[in-house]
Structure 1
Amino acid sequence: MSFLFLVLLLGCLCSFVLPDAQGDALYALKLSLNASSNQLTDWNVNQVNPCTWSRVNCDQSNNVIQVSLALMGLTGTLTPRIGVLKNLTALSLQGNAITGNIPKELGNLTNLGRLDLENNRLTGQIPSSLGNLIKLQFLTLSQNNLNGTIPESLGNLPSLINVMLDSNDLSGEIPEQLFKVTKYNFSGNKLNCGVNYPHPCASSNTDQGSPHKVKVGLIVGIIMGLIVILFLVGLLYFWCKNKHKGYKREIFVDVAGEVDRRIPFGQLKRFAWRELQIATDNFSEKNVLGQGGFGKVYKGVLADNTKVAVKRLTDYESPGGDAAFQREVEMISVAVHRNLLRLIGFCTTPTERLLVYPFMQNLSVAYRLRELKPGEPVLDWPTRKRVALGTARGLEYLHEHCNPKIIHRDVKAANVLLDEDFEAVVGDFGLAKLVDVRKTNVTTQVRGTMGHIAPEYLSTGKSSERTDVFGYGIMLLELVTGQRAIDFSRLEEEDDVLLLDHVKKLEREKRLDAIVDRNLNKNYNIQEVEMMIQVALLCTQATPEDRPLMSEVVRMLEGEGLAERWEEWQHVEVNRRQEYERLQRRFDWGEDSVYNQDAIELSGGR
């Protein structure tokens, strides 16, 4: 009898000890991730059982099996104590700003089926202990700063069907077995895949799960579709019923400073006009952060002291454009990448369209290059290199990973912002279509900034991803020189108003040091300067088809394929100059020639 009592007592103790150890581990995770005072408030160290906590799921035995902390803006690091959660099947921490290494203790979570750490700021190597996760099916470590090689142990994971390691700084050999996984992506690294290798860097298979999961997804989709149809029928009935009572409900319109919060819209916040009016001090000129082809940007402070940037779109005239505006805003909101500015909300009235973004405390690259206040630090060369690569990765994502692809149309240093770590964040993307949806008789409208507009866009009004590549090339020249794309003050010393022509001339004369921003005080690597100038000139070729794709630009900045492409470009340039000189001798033209006229004509109508 006493033996039976002892067994029961031990069982009871175990039932208390297990949740307590799990709770301690989760609370340690909360602390290490620097959760704010209004986040995870129910994660209380004094509560023994964490199964009652938000974002935590448990099984019937009170074992923690799922933890989801995605898109919470968490910083800090991952605590090794997370390895205590031996029954965990899913860990989702994507879309935060987590730094530090991936703890090797994650290899203790042998029941883990899904690990998602995408779009953070993790550094260091991928721990080989992840090879212990024999039940792991989905491994997503994309868009971090991970380096080193991919552990061989990952190739031995028996259950793996989806591995995403793209947009890191990995190098070396990819374990051969990983190419047999149903879906993989290793692009944006320095690995043995892609051009000149037997395997592509990304699989073409879009199936993300097993047939069973596909069937479940199909069933869920059908059910959700029926729910949506029923909701729409009810909404139509409600509208018809109230139509005769003089009640008119404008969906997606903020009237008289109020907002209809019954209409859901994903994760975006719908702001009232009055709320943003107060935040920006009635859109005071003293709060203007900048102005571009799509309108002014104002600094604002919300009621909870959150700093925001409010983009007030110009030229929005159509009263029937709400549906199109909604589609475009939704498209912008789902473009999530560490090098893209995240849209957090919007506001609409019958005459206004406003977008709300997080405020970037280090402002823009243009500000850091040319508008610094006394005592503020100059952008050093390593930071400029990082900005160049980060911007390229952001544009690559818009062009090649968004469906439909997004064309920026106004790539320039003023539209590349800098976060608290001076990482590049591309802003203003998707705005061209937002503004142009009101035009019913024009396919597109030329929008952009003088000196950054590609010649074919200026002459035809038609843009493509190669239009953005041209603007990116000019932005690279801004990074190297610190100068504006057009500067009439150069007329005092030379004929080149356009920065592109100025750099081309100095590059031909091999005067690279004369190109570099004097504020760097010669603290730069001349070989890296030469590489960046070469990439910029390849991006700004007159013919769109001759320009590289942004994915190719990323690879060239990472040191792959630039030499061959540059040699080919130089050969074409030499032939072109020889033809020009032949014509010059034949017709005895002077300095004001067709060769120089090209640049003048392209800049004349901007």
Structure 2
Amino acid sequence: MGFIFSAEKVVYALVFISIFFEFFGSNAQFLPVDEVETLRTIFRKLQNRTVTIGRTSCSDGNWNFITDGANSTIVCDCTVNSTCHVTEIHLESFSLPGIFPPEFGNLTRLQEIDLPRNYISGSIPTTLSRIPLKILSVTGNRLSGPIPPQFGAISTLADVNLEDNLLTGSLPSNLGNLRSLVRLLLSANNFTGQIPESLSNLKNLTEFRIDGNSLSGKIPDFIGNWTQLNRLDLQGTSMKGPIPASISNLKNLTELRITDLDGPASSFPDLLSMTNMRRLILRNCLIRGPIPEYIGSMSELKLLDLSSNMLTGTIPDTFRSLIKYDFMFLSNNSLTGQVPQFILDTKRSMDLSYNNFTQPPTLGCTQLDVNLISSYPSVTDNSAQWCLREDLPCPRDAQHSSLFINCGGSGIKIKKDKYEEDLNGRGASSFFPVAERSGYSSSGIWVGNDSALFSATDKFNLINESVPEYYKTARLAPQSLKYYGLCMRRGKGTYKGNLFQRDFNIAERAGGVGKPFTRQLDEVQVNGSTLEIHLQWSGKGSIVIPKRGVYGPLISAITITPNFKVDTGKPFSNGAVAGIVIAACAMLIVLLLRLAEELRGLDLQTGSFTLKQIKRATNNFDPENKIGEGGFGPVYKGVLADGMTIAVKQLSSKSKQGNREFVTETGMMIYALQHPNLVKLYGCCIEGKELLLVYEYLVNNSLARALFGSEKQRLHLDWPTRNKICIGIAKGLAYLHEESRLKIVHRDIKATNVLLDQSLNAKISDFGLAKLDEEENTHISTRIAGTIGYMAPEYAMRGYLTDKADVYSFGVVCLEIVSGKSNTNYRPKEEFVYLLDWAYVLQEQGNLLELVDLDLGTNFSKKEAKRMLNIALLCTNPSPTLRPPMSSVVSMLEGKSKVQPPLVKREVDPSGAAAMRFKAFELLSQDSESQVSTFERDRDHKSSSSVDAPWIDSSSSAKGKDVNQKQQQEEEDEGRSSSSSRKLLDDLTDVKIE
């Protein structure tokens, strides 16, 4: 015995030594407690709950971790007194949907914040001015608001990348104080105003990019002070020309991109000293005169774009020295003379279209690399191919009065119209005719994404399946995209049929992104037999999150039909109605890049509808179309013009949920959550005072009506269907809790929030209308959204919210499915509060199967029913830690894992925690009796929530009282019975039940 005792002592000693060396040996280094807590707060506000942070997390200096395939790093400095301090945080492409935490400013040694390609919203924290920040990269997020003035006080900043966000306002003048700045990247935002004069102080800049903003004023002369500059991007800024002469000082430039200037014409800028130039873009800059000979001396040139200017003269012979170039765009100028043979022999992409060349070459209209469309206007005879001549004249008699093209797709037939295929993959500088009936010409290269395609076939799977087939493919181009209707019958006394759109904002016109949109152009006249449709992009594109995208015009289909009765031989006298059908993916094709990723839709935002569409669909919100009423507002059934049935939730502008920012953020979140057991959000409408969410319509209404409705309403569900519905709800919750990157707690699972489709599959609704972790305290919600009778005890009494609250609610719904009885309305005896109360009693008595719905008779599986009831009781355990996760529930329901017996006994100890929680609900029930949803079989009985109304909001069935008001009432009623439920809630000072 003594030997055994000694052995135990040895074991304990070894364990102690092991623990000691783990924490104190091997030069163990720790993060300070305050930095650990700060990191936890940062990750929580960024809504990443998968990373566990402890004091030893950074003991090796670099802490690398992988979450959902994203590999990121936190770097620490552990060289001082065995203490580590966070110096760098890298979280790239983590799909983080939270706000930009101001707590970054509490990490006093932090030098680098790298958060590119996420979904982070909010403003740039002013607290960043407190830390020695050197690098800030938040490109590809959803940051909004202006750059704060405090930003100019971070004198240590060397690299700032704020590209691809939603930032607004003018640039603060004190940015000029950041004299250590080497890179300043501000493209693809919504900045306005002029570039501040103070930026002339940034003499260490090597890169400055501000593309796609709405700036004013001229390009400042002081850019000549940035003599270290390697790259200057001023594309699509709305600034005025000319390009200042001081640009000649920038001898180190290797990339210069300036486009779309306003103002007077000017001569070519002096770029003679920029011999290392690799990419030169001066497109649509109102430059006149000849192309300088010295451009041919830029031996490293890979890209040259001088298109859409007023250049004259010939192509310089020095261009034969440009042996490294891949792309050259000289289109839409007034170049003359003969195109050099070395150009015609090139195997690289060259666009010379729309110039004034002479002596046309003997080339076909489908020359692979050189685009010469309409570049020989002076040729009037047949010595040149028809495609080289002005206006692309028809080589025979014009005979077409209509045209249908499925851009980027195969030939299809919709109703009586046959849409021609458009599958050719050329793009950088090409023209492709189709049987002298139509053609297209595209120009430009994808900046930053060389692998992008020029057609998007069968990629638009975010658009709902009921739209016409032609919306699901598209033709796209980096810069210029033209379609031609060839050999069209012309009218009398009409003007040239040139339809031109620059920076056409498809998303704005369609009311959102990912939404089909048709632009109809009435009374389009055709002259010279050719109708030209031109879409051009000048740099004001949308943003792509979290992957790099492609920018440029996009078109899904073209429909040209006559607005008169076609009669052979009759002139095209009354014009045509041309409908340009455009998929509203606007200036980006993120779908090509993110199809395999769950959150691809967040970048696109939700599909949007116009108020006019919604009013037409619902017959101007006709009360006859009203199918529900909730705390957030009414719900209407509607039918869109294409025949698709929808459900429209009209949010109250007075509620928090009626806030526009809430609608936008919540809509994006719901739109990203796609699962067979979740109700699908089609889009939203934010117009005037109307704030609307548009969902799929489910014909079989709610589970509540199917189970508890009147005899006419009930569906008399058989046992296999009930089992399928229960498993479907469980799978939907498992997805929200565990499988989705956005970990969502529903907060109001109940029978009215489960809808049934045509096949009686369960779909959870309202899963995005309650936000998780609204306040800063982890798991504490100061606004309780739920329904009494379904809320978990810890949530109802303490506001303590985790996914286990949904597990509890699921257990209650599971009980209702088996029994066919409402938990909030069925009381078999006076001493029982809810159906759940009775279930615990029957379980203790061994008579659990008495709960099975009598309507089933003997037509059910006793084994499955008992399993489902035991799972229901397991899920409704008063202790959240003893409830299983929903993935385990799915496994148990499907019979793949064993069901653990419930651990709750109702009244073993009348003073115990379980009994007190039952008592709490009894008192809550008494205090809120008039507010509880009821479902009666008698249709004449009216209540605050009706089984006729699915889509009832979370807040509708448990509208709360402000607890502060309750406390005042409590002081007034001190002499009253202590049974009041307010006595149980006196510590919930800020809690509201909504």
Match for residue 597 of structure 2? none
Within 2, Cα distance between the matches of 1:303 and 1:65?
Answer: 26
Change (3 A) 1:419 1:296: same
The alignment partner of 1:298 has SS state of strand
Within 2, Cα distance between the matches of 1:428 and 1:319?
Answer: 12
Within 1, Cα distance between the matches of 2:773 and 2:625?
Answer: 23
Code of the residue aligned with 1:398 in structure 2: it is: L
1:380 to 704, 718, 733: 718
Aligned length: 363
Contact kept, 8 Å, 1:444 with 1:461, in 2: the verdict is: yes
The alignment status of 1:52 with 2:429, answered yes or no, reads no
Match for residue 603 of structure 1? 925
1:361 to 690, 699, 716: 699
The alignment partner of 1:347 has SS state of strand
Code of the residue aligned with 1:307 in structure 2: it is: T
Change (3 A) 1:44 1:487: closer
Within 2, Cα distance between the matches of 1:605 and 1:497?
Answer: 13
The alignment status of 1:429 with 2:798, answered yes or no, reads no
Give the alignment of 1:136-535 within 5 angstroms: 224=549, 266=604, 268-314=606-652, 316-317=654-655, 321-349=659-687, 351-371=689-709, 374=712, 377-433=715-771, 444-487=782-825, 490=827, 493-535=829-871
Code of the residue aligned with 2:709 in structure 1: it is: E
The CA deviation at 1:458 is: 1.4
Match for residue 880 of structure 2? 544
Contact kept, 8 Å, 1:473 with 1:537, in 2: the verdict is: yes
Contact kept, 8 Å, 2:653 with 2:689, in 1: the verdict is: no
The CA deviation at 1:74 is: 6.0
The CA deviation at 1:443 is: 5.3
Contact kept, 8 Å, 2:606 with 2:667, in 1: the verdict is: no
The alignment partner of 1:533 has SS state of helix
Change (3 A) 1:65 1:340: closer
Within 1, Cα distance between the matches of 2:545 and 2:666?
Answer: 26
Contact kept, 8 Å, 2:648 with 2:693, in 1: the verdict is: yes
The alignment status of 1:42 with 2:411, answered yes or no, reads yes
Code of the residue aligned with 1:388 in structure 2: it is: C
The CA deviation at 1:550 is: 0.8
What TM-score do you get using the length of structure 2 for normalisation?
A: 0.33
The alignment partner of 1:506 has SS state of helix
Change (3 A) 1:343 1:41: farther
The alignment partner of 1:502 has SS state of helix
Deviations 1:415-471 (A, max 9, x none): 11111211111111111139989xxxx954211222111122212334221111111
Within 1, Cα distance between the matches of 2:630 and 2:839?
Answer: 25
Within 1, Cα distance between the matches of 2:425 and 2:586?
Answer: 29
What TM-score do you get using the length of structure 1 for normalisation?
A: 0.52
Deviations 1:105-156 (A, max 9, x none): xxxxxxxxxxxxxxxxxxxxxxxxxxxxxxxxxxxxxxxxxxxxxxxxxxxx
Change (3 A) 1:69 1:536: same
Code of the residue aligned with 1:337 in structure 2: it is: H
Code of the residue aligned with 1:498 in structure 2: it is: Y
Match for residue 579 of structure 1? 909
The CA deviation at 1:579 is: 3.3
The CA deviation at 1:554 is: 0.9
Within 2, Cα distance between the matches of 1:421 and 1:559?
Answer: 23
The alignment partner of 1:524 has SS state of coil
Change (3 A) 1:494 1:350: same
Change (3 A) 1:362 1:455: same
More contact order relative to length (CA 8 Å, sep ≥ 6): 1
Code of the residue aligned with 2:724 in structure 1: it is: R
Contact kept, 8 Å, 1:457 with 1:463, in 2: the verdict is: yes
Deviations 1:174-193 (A, max 9, x none): xxxxxxxxxxxxxxxxxxxx
Code of the residue aligned with 1:277 in structure 2: it is: K
Within 1, Cα distance between the matches of 2:713 and 2:608?
Answer: 39
Change (3 A) 1:352 1:595: closer
The CA deviation at 1:472 is: 0.8
Contact kept, 8 Å, 1:469 with 1:539, in 2: the verdict is: yes
Contact kept, 8 Å, 2:684 with 2:691, in 1: the verdict is: yes
Deviations 1:146-179 (A, max 9, x none): xxxxxxxxxxxxxxxxxxxxxxxxxxxxxxxxxx
Within 2, Cα distance between the matches of 1:379 and 1:522?
Answer: 14
Deviations 1:543-576 (A, max 9, x none): 222211111111111224443x21xx34xx35x7
Within 1, Cα distance between the matches of 2:731 and 2:724?
Answer: 11
Q: Higher helix proportion, which one?
A: 1
Match for residue 148 of structure 2? none
The CA deviation at 1:351 is: 3.8
Any gaps of 5 or more consecutive residues in structure 2? 1-408, 427-454, 467-543, 553-583, 589-602, 929-994
Code of the residue aligned with 1:534 in structure 2: it is: N
The alignment partner of 1:384 has SS state of helix
Change (3 A) 1:281 1:407: same
Within 1, Cα distance between the matches of 2:740 and 2:857?
Answer: 40
Change (3 A) 1:495 1:334: same
Q: Higher strand proportion, which one?
A: 2
Q: Percent identity between the aligned chains?
A: 35
Contact kept, 8 Å, 2:705 with 2:713, in 1: the verdict is: no
Contact kept, 8 Å, 1:368 with 1:378, in 2: the verdict is: yes
Within 2, Cα distance between the matches of 1:262 and 1:220?
Answer: 14
Contact kept, 8 Å, 2:411 with 2:420, in 1: the verdict is: no
Deviations 1:65-111 (A, max 9, x none): 98658457669xxxxxxxxxxxxxxxxxxxxxxxxxxxxxxxxxxxx
Within 1, Cα distance between the matches of 2:766 and 2:854?
Answer: 29
Code of the residue aligned with 1:579 in structure 2: it is: D
Within 2, Cα distance between the matches of 1:331 and 1:375?
Answer: 33
The CA deviation at 1:325 is: 3.2
Code of the residue aligned with 1:445 in structure 2: it is: R
Change (3 A) 1:555 1:434: closer
Within 1, Cα distance between the matches of 2:831 and 2:809?
Answer: 22
Q: Which has the larger radius of gyration?
A: 2
Change (3 A) 1:511 1:263: farther
Change (3 A) 1:434 1:599: closer
Contact kept, 8 Å, 1:535 with 1:562, in 2: the verdict is: no
The CA deviation at 1:474 is: 0.8
Within 2, Cα distance between the matches of 1:390 and 1:345?
Answer: 24
Contact kept, 8 Å, 1:279 with 1:302, in 2: the verdict is: yes
The alignment partner of 1:277 has SS state of helix
Contact kept, 8 Å, 1:501 with 1:599, in 2: the verdict is: no
